[in-house]
Structure 1
Amino acid sequence: MSSDECQPTTSGVSGSVDYRMEILRLLEVRDQKHAFIEGIFRNYSKMIDTLSKTRISRVSNRSFDESGGGSDEIRKLRDEISEVYKKKSKNDQELIDANRRLAECERNLNAITEERDKLKSDLDKMCARIAQQELLVKQTLDDNQNMRDEMIALKTTCDALTRRKMEWEEERIALLNKIRELNEKYAEFFNREVDDQEERRRMKIQEEITKAIQDTSRDERTNSLLQQQENIPIGDVLLGDVVPSQALAKFDSNDGEVNDVLWLSGETFASAGSDRRIRIWRIDSQGRYQKLCSLSGANQAVTRLDYDKDKHVLLGSSNDNMCRLWNVDNQRLLTTLSGHTDKVSCARYHQSHNIVSGSYDRCIKLWDIHNQRCTKSYFPGSIVLDIIGRQSLGGAAFISAHFDKKIRFWDGRNSEPFKIVEMSGKVTSLALSEDGLQLLASTRDDTLSLIDIRNYHILHIYSAEQYRTSGDLARCVISPGQDYVAAGSADGHVYVWNSQTTRLEKILARGGHESAVLCLSWCPTGVGLLSGDKIRRVCYWH
């Protein structure tokens, strides 16, 4: 091994120097193992020299024997020669063994050398890979530093954007408040304009009455009729239904959404909502209200109410897939009707002993109250959002409103509707007039439609610029005298239209709701309107 091979490489890797020292140590060990072989070679050389000398002595002894002397010395020399041959034989064998071991050591040395070369090659590869990895690590550290710098910059930008977002949010809230104020001012302006028109109309009527009195002053019959009319209060029978103008009462009715309100009489009404309870209230014309009782038994939100005035039994549908009947006089739960497989969105009295209900399971069921069982099921194929049961007239036994924008008319005997009216949006609610000839439908396209049930034609469509349907179960209403229709909006206002002219008569806003209005109920006397919103409040408009 040359001195250059024993020098450490300039790469500075300590593993290379250790490896060379290990090779030198193995060579020293080999020299120590083969030291006795060198002694054998030296002894062998001496023996050859001795043998040569012995041969020379034999030649001289032969000559001496031939001359007849020194026989004892010759025998002695022969013995010595025999002994030398024995040693030579022994040394030859040891030499052969030594050669064999030497060849084996050379093979081991060659193997070690090959392994050393292989390890050296691997070491060079590892050094190159280490250098590459060090370069990669350095690049990664640089990238990490760049990413940290970018993260700091992005965090700074994010903080700035967050501050801007908060400022914009404050501006948005301020704008919403301003919009609400402008809406209220617009509603007040509109209501003042309506009041002025009403006042002008009344003045015109008064002038006409005055002229008529002057023209018919001698007609005693006419005078008596005018005297009778003077005793009739304004806003009662003479003017028909009264459009509410202000909120006399505003109070928390249910914990959560108020899904439905329903007048039970001229002074009492019921409210139902997401708190699973139905509450009965009394309210007078001055807005003084009192809670009479609370009906419990539903396991989830109550969605729709109906009332049997003769039996004083209240019907309620619920999201727990059931319908229930309560006696209002003693507040007892009478009957639980189960059979739907999903939330029951609506239930109405169909006849004195029957109930019809609609559900999210796309099924309509007809129930027998006495037997407390389902007598028939209908499968319209779409979610039922509202339903109307008809008792007074022939034709349709009940009418259903659906998610698929259709109103279906059923005769009760067939499993398919005999008439389907296609609307322009999901039909959220149905309201039937007192005479049973007109049907009011609320749809998700922010309109109300009045339908003549006799020929299934749409008579009028009601809409307003700011009116927005408040939800899939938003309820509309027709006044008892059929002079007006009303619906609650997503902006918390109540819109009242003239049913015949489709003119927007009133926007009830000031002192009312602050969230979407979900349900309405017009007092049977024609004076007074109830509304319930999404945050547990009920307003009484008068």
Structure 2
Amino acid sequence: MESKKLCARISELECSLKKANDDKQSLYDEWIALSALLKTKTNELLQLQEDRLVLINKIRDLNEQHANLFNTEVDLQQERQQRKIREEIARACEDTSKDEKIHTSLLQTNFPTGDSVFGDVIPQEVVFRAEANDGEVYDILWLSTDIFASGGSDKRVRLWKIDQRVRPTKTNTLVGCNHAVTRLDFNLESRLLLGASNDHGVRLWNVDNQRLMTSFMGHMDKVSSARFLSCSQVVSGSHDRVIKLWDIRGQRCVRSVFPGSTILDIVGIRKGVATFTSGHFDRKLRFWDSRNQEPIHTMDMAGKITSLDLSSDDIHLLCSTRDDTLSIIDVRKYQTVHIYSAEQYRTSSDVSRCVLSPGMEYCAAGSSDGHVFVWNVQSTKLEKVLHKGGHEHAILSLSWNPSGHGLLSADKQKIVCFWK
């Protein structure tokens, strides 16, 4: 009886051992198969990485070819302009009587001179009204006291110079964008002009020779805004809900952050560490350090944030929102200092741009009825409403002259006005 039990136990153990050996063999076979698969996938990954590098180099080469083509076009434009200038000089030399007329014109000019009053001045009337771009003029920007740039739905950035008669003359056209130009920024030190575009790209031009320097492609939707963080770094925000930091020298994206909401405007801090602020569709104002993936602070505003403008001392931020108000925010304390509004003021669109005067004495914004509203920054008093002889359509962008004298405004129907 005892021996039968032992035999049964031995048989049971032998069955268990056989099952264990079978399981071991199955696991070993599976391990061999997975090892082979891992090796195959590793080789595929290495090949894909090599292909990626090849494609990146091809993209860079194509971007360079693209830039060279546009630069060739710029060279041809410059050659035509130089030829035209030489012809005009030759004609002028034939008629010396023009000298007296020019002298009289210069004496009668009202253009600001070195004897002008220093500080910010409230504009009083329209000095000129001109067509700048074909269609909406999404952004306008002073590059110096007498040169400004305009960008719009015609895919062009146009450079203008104000002459002694206070009249704009188009000097150059910068090309390269395949869709509307939405935002402009200028770095005085590097002489580079930055343009964000609805073609999902950001472009850099040299304003001295009008050459397209590089194109930053990587966003998956319209780029609503792009600004300089420094001479070597650019930050851009898009409708794809991604903020990208770009290295100008390396011509590549060095970081992407994901705030989770459409970016409507973005502005960089010009001094100190590389920090920037973004305004969003979800009514939030986010403050960032470029070294981090998460915002260092978030503020809730009363409406979608359409525009941001930073004071020259990097302390105060002007913020325009869709609830028809503007706010001044102390970026050191993350606190709202003043709020500006007016009974007739209506924010014109999700891309309506506001502006601070250079000395931060005044702030201004354009309304949907074509009027320009100017407030006193400290008292919040509405100082002036500019409209007579100006715009007939909603205003999209403003730019205050660096001298503090004069304000540019641009609207949805080609028109740019200079108020002084």
- TM > 0.5: yes
Indicate the structure with greater strand content. 2
Q: Which moved more, 1:280-289 or 1:324-333?
A: 280-289
The answer as to 2:345 corresponding to 1:467 is yes
> d(CA) in 2 for partners of 1:351 and 1:282?
26
The answer as to 2:136 corresponding to 1:257 is yes
Cα drift, residue 286 of structure 1: 4.2
Q: Deviations over 1:156-210 (max 9, x none)?
A: xxxxxxxxxxxxxxxxxxxxxxxxxxxxxxxxxxxxxxxxxxxxxxxxxxxxxxx
Q: Which amino acid aligns with 1:342?
A: D
Aligned with 1:516 (options 384, 387, 394): 394
SS of aligned partner of 2:122: coil
Q: Deviations over 1:400-428 (max 9, x none)?
A: 00000000000111101010010000000
1:315: which partner in 2?
194
User: Is the CA contact 2:270–2:314 (under 8 Å) kept in the aligned structure 1?
Assistant: no
> d(CA) in 1 for partners of 2:386 and 2:354?
15
> d(CA) in 1 for partners of 2:333 and 2:205?
37
Aligned with 1:454 (options 306, 329, 332): 332
1:491: which partner in 2?
369
SS of aligned partner of 2:194: strand
The answer as to 2:109 corresponding to 1:236 is no
SS of aligned partner of 2:250: coil
> d(CA) in 1 for partners of 2:132 and 2:272?
35
1:345: which partner in 2?
224
Q: Which amino acid aligns with 1:277?
A: R
Runs of 4+ in 1 over 3 A off after TM superposition: none
Cα drift, residue 391 of structure 1: 2.4
User: Is the CA contact 2:137–2:153 (under 8 Å) kept in the aligned structure 1?
Assistant: yes
Q: How does 1:307-456 map to 2 (within 5 A)?
A: 307-394=186-273, 397-456=275-334
RMSD value, Cα: 1.2
Aligned with 1:271 (options 136, 150, 168): 150
The answer as to 2:302 corresponding to 1:302 is no
User: Is the CA contact 2:163–2:169 (under 8 Å) kept in the aligned structure 1?
Assistant: no
> d(CA) in 2 for partners of 1:541 and 1:284?
15
Q: How does 1:147-166 map to 2 (within 5 A)?
A: none
Q: Deviations over 1:276-310 (max 9, x none)?
A: 00000011474211110001110000000011112
Q: Which amino acid aligns with 1:338?
A: M
- Which structure's CA Rg is the greater one? 1
User: Is the CA contact 2:190–2:231 (under 8 Å) kept in the aligned structure 1?
Assistant: no
> d(CA) in 1 for partners of 2:406 and 2:156?
24
User: Is the CA contact 2:182–2:198 (under 8 Å) kept in the aligned structure 1?
Assistant: yes
User: Is the CA contact 1:248–1:286 (under 8 Å) kept in the aligned structure 2?
Assistant: no
> d(CA) in 1 for partners of 2:282 and 2:163?
41
Count of residue correspondences? 307
Cα drift, residue 454 of structure 1: 1.1
C-alpha change, 1:357 and 1:510, in structure 2 (3 Å) is same
Q: How does 1:16-55 map to 2 (within 5 A)?
A: none
Q: How does 1:166-205 map to 2 (within 5 A)?
A: none
Q: Which amino acid aligns with 1:492?
A: G
Q: Which amino acid aligns with 2:315?
A: L
SS of aligned partner of 2:375: strand
User: Is the CA contact 2:367–2:395 (under 8 Å) kept in the aligned structure 1?
Assistant: yes
> d(CA) in 2 for partners of 1:295 and 1:355?
19
Gaps of 5+ in 2: 1-113
User: Is the CA contact 2:320–2:327 (under 8 Å) kept in the aligned structure 1?
Assistant: yes
Percent identity between the two aligned chains: 58
Indicate the structure with greater helix content. 1
Gaps of 5+ in 1: 1-231
User: Is the CA contact 2:323–2:347 (under 8 Å) kept in the aligned structure 1?
Assistant: yes
Q: Deviations over 1:40-76 (max 9, x none)?
A: xxxxxxxxxxxxxxxxxxxxxxxxxxxxxxxxxxxxx
> d(CA) in 2 for partners of 1:236 and 1:499?
20
Q: Deviations over 1:496-532 (max 9, x none)?
A: 0000000000000000000000000000000010000
Q: Which amino acid aligns with 1:414?
A: N
1:529: which partner in 2?
407
Q: Which moved more, 1:330-339 or 1:439-448?
A: 330-339
Cα drift, residue 241 of structure 1: 0.5
Cα drift, residue 270 of structure 1: 0.1
2:170: which partner in 1?
291
1:221: which partner in 2?
none
User: Is the CA contact 2:120–2:405 (under 8 Å) kept in the aligned structure 1?
Assistant: yes
